[in-house]
Each structure stands twice: as C-alpha cells, then as structure tokens.
C-alpha cells in the first residue's frame, strides 16, 4: 500500500460539514460591508517579496521569522501573502484608484500564510476578512471602520467584546518617543533577546511587541507613547474617542498595544473576546506613499476567521445551517428512476435543492439516506404515481402529506421550499 499523504503541518481542510460556518460568516461580513458602501477587492495569493519588506516592515516578526519566500523559475523573489493590507495598497496604487473620488472603501476575504508555531488559534495557512479605506484623514473614518468590525462581530452573536485603542503617533512625534524608549531600554540592553538587540537601533518600538518573556518583563515599565504625542495626534485621538462615544461603542485605552506591523500611525485598535484577539487594525497614513503612491491616508482592519469560528463555538453560538436538500426523490423501477431524474433537474431550475437515487439503493435505504441528508421533504415515484401523474410530498418534520401534480412543478417547488 502506498504511503498516505497528509496535509502539511499548520494547514487544515475545510470539510463539507463545516463549510456552512465559513459561508455564513462571509455572508454577514459582505452584507454589512454593503451597508457602508464598501466594495470587494481580490488580490493574488503571492506578491513580489519587496512589497512586504517595504510594507509590513523588515523588523517585524512576520518578515524576519514567518514569511513563505522563494525564488520562482525566473529567479524572482516571491512571497505568499502573510496579510491582506499590503496587497490591497499595491492594487490601489497600481490600478490608480487614487484618481477616483475618495474615499475608496474596499473589503477582502483571503487566505494568508505565515510560518508560525502551530497552536490553538494559529495556523500556517489561515483566513482573514478585512477592510481598507483610502483617502480620508478624518477621525470619523477611524470610528466608522471600528463600527464595521463591531457590527460584524455583534451580528454573528458575540456579546462579550472588548475594544482596546491606542495612538502610535506620527513621524513628527514618533522620533521623540523612540529617543525616550531607547534611553529606557539601554539600561537593560544586555537582557534583550538577540532579535530585539538588532531592533534597538532601527525600530525600538518593535521591541514592545516581542513575545519573549525576558523582553516582555523589561518593557513592562517602558515610557508610554501617549505622553509624547504632538498636538495633531492628540487632537485626532480625542476626536476618535468622541465619535466612538457618539456611536455608543465602549472602549478602553491600552498604551501597551503596538500591533505587529510597522505601517501603523495614530489610531490602532484590537477587539478581544475572553480568549482571543479576533480583530485588529488601525490607521496607516504613510504606507501608500512608501509603496510608490501619492501621499494619502488610510485605515483598516482584519478579522481572523479561524479564531472567530473557535470563539463562536466556545461561546455556544450556533451558526445557522440551511437544509442541504429541500426534497429527496425516491423511485421504484427504471421508469420511476428516469422520471425522478427528470423531475429533479426541472425543480433545480426553479431553485429547489433536491437529490435522487444515483446508487441503486432500495426504497428503504433511500429513505434512510434522505433522513441522513436532512431533506425537508421526501417523495417516491413508482408505477402508481406515473399513471396518476400525482405525487405525495412528505414533510419530514411532522409527517404531513401534500399532494401535487407531476405536471405542475411550480406547485411542487412552492410546497417544498
């Protein structure tokens, strides 16, 4: 026997019995996006590596430890998409969407890839639904983006949500903070992990996001960036809070939030449940320019779908699952089978989800199979039904019988749907 081939570590099959959960979450997200006038964008699964080096930041864990990078047959460095924002920004610039009336509101649903230590809630291929808004520097847009995320999570049934916000400043006030942070970290430089020692000169703020225990202990009493904000950033943050108050969205200010990406400026946020951070995002006003586009502000978020499903299941929130079939059509004899085959085809053109016997099962086995499928209605076509041109439709929930003419499939469709 040939050796069994298994899925690579850190990946997971989405099986038919689980697909409805993903479809429901995606449909909720799409419907809410429509109410805000947000349009879908789809970007490639892989990009030139330089996009993520410049966009995500070469001092981040993602770039330094986690990216799937390889040379293609043309000896070009290619990377599987580790997150959604950089690709959407690249598409925005390349297709010159900045020439259109602003703001540009785009959403995406995409797989992403990171070489991480596989554990609960962390996979090497995972999925995100996200939102990016380009062109608006107004604090109201920060609040609206947060509202989209909160609306999505609440519509899915989550109630115990915590919104934490912070402000990372801008290029005007960040240098002063970095100077203060470096001065603080210098006293414990020898205690930092090797990676954070390399970050010390280039990007000391990245040390605040380190997961190493010794670095976390060192940075517990580090200076807080909110104490170093310039007037513009301070005013922006105050207005964001005012808009959140207007929307009656509760929040906590958490100076410890840094986020794992270098492109953030000003507002950043996380939405948490008791176990996971299910959503993270913020403003990134310089990324478009850094990637070759015009000087244009932007703000967005991403929701991890796997973590979201785990959270919904843990909190006992049932995701609606439609019946796989409205009608199962059983048959006796060859003529009955042919009639069942034709009836199923005709009903499908009217939107009826139906199935018939393709396995040569007995009538008893067919009805058992129909019950396993969860068909809402069943019927059997045999000699009597073909002669009378009438069919009995049995509702499986209570056993009630509905009679209909085989010559009027519209009536049959109306009964079983």
Domain termination site, one of 314, 337, 369:
314
Cα–Cα distance measured from residue 255 to residue 259, given in angstroms and rounded to the nearest whole number: 11
Together in a domain, 67 and 94: yes
Q: If pLDDT is split at 50, 70 and 90, which confidence band does 35 have?
A: very high
Together in a domain, 156 and 202: no
* Predicted pLDDT of residue 247: 97
Together in a domain, 258 and 211: no
Domain termination site, one of 314, 340, 369:
314
Strands (E), 135-254: 162-167, 252-253
Q: Using a pLDDT cut of 90, give the percent of the chain over it.
A: 75
Q: What is the dihedral of CA 276, 278, 284, 290, to 10 degrees?
A: 90
Residue 57 lies in a domain: yes
Residue 3 lies in a domain: no
Residue 147 lies in a domain: yes
Together in a domain, 26 and 94: yes
Cα–Cα distance measured from residue 212 to residue 158, given in angstroms and rounded to the nearest whole number: 31
Length of the chain (residues): 417
Residue 2 lies in a domain: no
CB-CB contact of 87 with 44 (8 Å): yes
Cα–Cα distance measured from residue 307 to residue 315, given in angstroms and rounded to the nearest whole number: 12
* Predicted pLDDT of residue 259: 67
Domain containing 207 equals 174-226
Together in a domain, 221 and 237: no
Q: Give phi and psi for 262, each to the nearest 5.
A: -80, -15
Condensed to tens digits (0 to 9), the pLDDT of residues 90-146 reads 999 999 999 999 999 999 999 999 998 887 778 999 999 999 999 999 999 999 999
CB-CB contact of 391 with 406 (8 Å): yes
Residue 94 lies in a domain: yes
Q: If pLDDT is split at 50, 70 and 90, which confidence band does 387 have?
A: very high
Cα–Cα distance measured from residue 40 to residue 321, given in angstroms and rounded to the nearest whole number: 25
- The average confidence (pLDDT) of the chain is 92
> 3-state SS of the chain: helix, strand, coil percent to 5?
45, 20, 35
Cα–Cα distance measured from residue 317 to residue 320, given in angstroms and rounded to the nearest whole number: 9
Q: Above 70 in pLDDT, residue 318? A: yes
* Predicted pLDDT of residue 256: 80
Together in a domain, 141 and 104: yes
Q: Which of 155-159, 214-218, 308-312, 412-416 has the lowest mean pLDDT?
A: 214-218
CATH number at residue 365: 3.40.50.800
Condensed to tens digits (0 to 9), the pLDDT of residues 15-24 reads 999 999 999 9
* Predicted pLDDT of residue 264: 87
Condensed to tens digits (0 to 9), the pLDDT of residues 53-77 reads 988 877 677 887 899 999 999 999 9
CATH number at residue 95: 3.30.930.10
Locate tokens 């947060």: which residue? 146
What count of Cα atoms within 13 Å lies in the side-chain half-sphere of residue 162?
A: 10
* Predicted pLDDT of residue 59: 66
* Predicted pLDDT of residue 257: 83
Together in a domain, 379 and 397: yes
Together in a domain, 344 and 238: no
Q: Above 90 in pLDDT, residue 261? A: no
Together in a domain, 259 and 154: yes
Cα–Cα distance measured from residue 186 to residue 334, given in angstroms and rounded to the nearest whole number: 85
Domain termination site, one of 283, 314, 345:
314
Condensed to tens digits (0 to 9), the pLDDT of residues 247-259 reads 999 999 998 887 6
Condensed to tens digits (0 to 9), the pLDDT of residues 278-296 reads 999 999 999 999 999 999 9
Residue 11 lies in a domain: no
Q: What residues contact residue 120 under an 8 Å CB cut-off, 6+ apart?
A: 310
Per-residue pLDDT averaged across 382-397, rounded?
95
Condensed to tens digits (0 to 9), the pLDDT of residues 340-353 reads 999 999 999 999 99
Q: Above 70 in pLDDT, residue 260? A: no
257's tokens: 């939030």
Q: Quick one: which H or E segment has residue 308?
A: helix 305-314
Q: What residues contact residue 217 under an 8 Å CB cut-off, 6+ apart?
A: none
Together in a domain, 245 and 375: no
Q: Above 70 in pLDDT, residue 355? A: yes
362's tokens: 């007995």
- Sheet arrangement for strand 77-80: 46-48, 77-80, 69-71
The number of domains in the chain is 3
Residue 6 lies in a domain: no
Together in a domain, 247 and 344: no
CB-CB contact of 72 with 44 (8 Å): no
Together in a domain, 147 and 249: yes
Q: If pLDDT is split at 50, 70 and 90, which confidence band does 233 have?
A: very high
Residue 85 lies in a domain: yes
């Amino acid at each position: 026997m040939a050796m069994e081939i298994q899925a690579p570590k850190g990946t997971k099959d989405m099986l038919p019995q689980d697909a409805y959960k993903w479809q429901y979450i995606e449909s909720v997200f799409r419907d809410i996006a429509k109410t805000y006038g947000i349009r879908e964008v789809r970007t490639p699964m892989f990009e030139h590596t330089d996009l993520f080096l410049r966009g995500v930041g070469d001092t981040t864990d993602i770039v330094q430890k986690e990216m799937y990078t390889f040379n293609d047959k043309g000896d070009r460095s290619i990377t599987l998409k580790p997150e959604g924002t950089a690709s959407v920004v690249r598409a925005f610039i390349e297709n010159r969407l900045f020439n259109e009336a602003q703001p540009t509101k785009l959403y995406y649903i995409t797989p992403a890839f990171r070489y991480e230590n596989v554990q609960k809630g962390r996979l090497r291929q995972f999925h995100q639904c996200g939102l990016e808004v380009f062109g608006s520097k107004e604090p109201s847009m920060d609040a609206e983006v947060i509202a989209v995320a909160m609306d999505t999570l609440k519509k899915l049934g989550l109630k115990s949500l915590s919104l934490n916000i912070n402000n990372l400043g801008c290029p005007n006030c960040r240098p002063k903070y970095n100077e203060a942070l470096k001065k603080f970290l210098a006293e414990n430089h020898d205690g930092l992990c090797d990676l954070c020692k390399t970050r010390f000169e280039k990007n000391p703020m990245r040390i605040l996001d380190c997961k190493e225990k010794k670095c976390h202990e060192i940075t517990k009493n580090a200076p807080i960036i909110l104490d170093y904000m310039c007037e513009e950033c301070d005013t922006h943050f105050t207005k964001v809070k005012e808009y959140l108050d207007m929307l009656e969205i509760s929040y906590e200010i958490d100076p410890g939030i840094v986020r794992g990406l270098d492109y953030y400026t000003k507002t950043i946020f996380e939405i948490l449940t008791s176990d996971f951070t299910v959503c993270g995002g913020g403003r990134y006003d310089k990324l478009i320019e850094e990637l070759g586009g015009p000087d244009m502000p932007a703000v967005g978020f991403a929701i991890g779908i796997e973590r979201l499903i785990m959270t919904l299941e843990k909190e006992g929130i049932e995701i609606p699952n439609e019946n796989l079939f409205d009608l199962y059509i059983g048959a006796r004899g060859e003529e009955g089978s042919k009639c069942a085959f034709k009836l199923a085809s005709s009903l499908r053109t009217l939107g009826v989800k139906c199935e018939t016997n393709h396995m040569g099962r007995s009538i008893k086995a067919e009805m058992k199979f129909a019950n396993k499928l969860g068909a809402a209605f069943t019927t059997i076509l045999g000699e009597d039904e073909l002669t009378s041109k009438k069919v009995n439709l049995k509702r499986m929930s209570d056993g009630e019988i509905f009679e209909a003419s085989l010559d009027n499939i519209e009536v049959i469709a109306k009964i079983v749907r």
